[in-house]
């Protein structure tokens, strides 16, 4: 017997006219909640906040990305960045490459699989935002 579908999260209040296009705090939290629940329902990889922040930094900020630079930008220790990169590399969302200019330095680069995941995640988040008040 198939398990029943998970309950749909409640819809947040509609935005007030004064709010314009900006989300109110409760709506922003409701959107984040919906995105997380949809991600869980789709069995997306379970990334920590640090892993996801690092992943987004690599994809949204211009390269190059080094462990030292990511640690500074994200206010994380270098060992924490290394652990996050290890996890993302295991998922094939990023890859490491030796910096040709400085063989001691390792660059953290985007991957095709990571790009596809992020595009699908962005589409999922956009859909959740459209359904926020609909």
Q: Is residue 62 part of a domain?
A: yes
Confidence bin at 53 (pLDDT 50/70/90): very high
Residues 6 or more apart whose Cβ sits within 8 Å of residue 7:
none
Q: What is the DSSP letter of 66?
A: B
Q: What is the pLDDT of residue 102?
A: 87
Q: Is the pLDDT of residue 8 over 50?
A: no
Q: Is residue 33 part of a domain?
A: no
Q: Is the pLDDT of residue 10 over 70?
A: no
Indicate which CATH number applies to the domain containing 53.
1.10.10.10
Q: How many domains does the chain have?
A: 1
Q: What is the pLDDT of residue 131?
A: 85
Q: Which two tokens stand for residue 110?
A: 């985007």
Q: Which two tokens stand for residue 41?
A: 């329902």
Residues in the chain: 134
Domain that holds residue 88: 49-114
Q: Is residue 76 part of a domain?
A: yes
- Predicted structure pTM score: 0.78
Q: Is residue 19 part of a domain?
A: no
Q: Which of 15-19, 44-48, 80-84, 105-109 has the lowest mean pLDDT?
A: 15-19
Pairing of strands 94-98, 106-110: antiparallel
Q: Is residue 125 part of a domain?
A: no
pLDDT in tens, 60-115: 999 999 999 999 999 999 999 999 999 999 999 999 999 888 888 899 999 999 99
């Amino acid at each position: 017997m198939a398990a029943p579908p998970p309950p749909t999260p409640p819809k947040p209040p509609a935005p007030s006219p004064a709010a314009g296009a900006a989300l109110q705090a409760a709506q922003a939290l409701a959107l984040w909640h919906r995105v997380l629940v949809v991600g869980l329902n789709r069995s997306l990889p379970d990334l920590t906040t640090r892993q996801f922040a690092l992943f987004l930094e690599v994809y949204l900020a211009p390269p190059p990305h080094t462990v030292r630079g990511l640690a500074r930008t994200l206010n994380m220790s270098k060992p924490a960045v290394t652990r996050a990169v290890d996890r993302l590399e295991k998922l094939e969302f990023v890859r490491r490459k030796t910096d040709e200019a400085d063989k001691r330095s390792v660059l953290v680069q985007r991957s095709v699989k990571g790009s596809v995941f992020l595009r699908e995640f962005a589409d999922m988040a956009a859909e959740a935002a459209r359904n926020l008040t609909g």
